[in-house]
Structure 1
Amino acid sequence: MKKLKNEKELVKKAIAAGVKYGEKRGVVEFEATDSATEKVEYIYRLLVHDKVIQPIPEDQVSQLTMRHKLAIWASRLD
């Protein structure tokens, strides 16, 4: 897994877009107290469920790989 040049900013963008996506769909309401870790996992699983992104093999799923996958997704937005 090759790290993206501006991965940190892309993860922030992915979290913002994912929160908006989930709330617009009506499946989740995030609280201000929810951690970024929880948001990353929920958004990743929601996007996989909706077939927006390809799933990572279950034995390779980790916070790092989910963040990377969301960063790639965010880089393709706009």
Structure 2
Amino acid sequence: MKKIKHEAQLLKKALSIGEQYAKKRGYITFDEGTSNKIKIECIYRLLVDDKVIVPLASDKEDGPNMKHKLVLWIQKQLPEGHPLLVD
């Protein structure tokens, strides 16, 4: 898995956008006490179910790979020249 520049900030952005996406789909928002681990898995599974992203192989479905997949997804969603995409 290749290290991505600004990965932590991109993941934070992916979680934010993912929560908004889930809310528009009719899901209730996460509680303040919900861990990022749970948010990552829920948003990942929602995006896979909606066929927005391609699922990981079943033996690769773990926290780090789900995080990486969400980061790759948000990179494609951000406009060209966004500060998180600039080296």
Is TM-score (shorter-chain normalized) higher than 0.5? yes
Report the Cα offset of residue 24 of structure 1.
1.1
1:16-55 matched pairs, under 5 angstroms: 16-55=16-55
* TM-score, normalization by structure 1: 0.94
**More relative contact order, 1 or 2 (CA 8 Å, 6+ apart):** 1
User: Which structure has the larger Rg?
Assistant: 2
Give unpaired runs (5+ residues) of structure 2.
79-87
**How many residues are paired up?**
78
More helix, by proportion: 1
Q: Percent identity?
A: 45
- In structure 1, stretches of 5+ residues that fail to align are none
Question: Structure 2-normalised TM-score?
Answer: 0.85
CA RMSD in angstroms, aligned pairs only: 0.9
Off by >4 Å, runs of 4+ in structure 1:
none
**Partners in 2 of 1:75 and 1:12 — Cα distance?**
12
Q: Which one-letter code corresponds to 1:74 in the other structure?
A: I
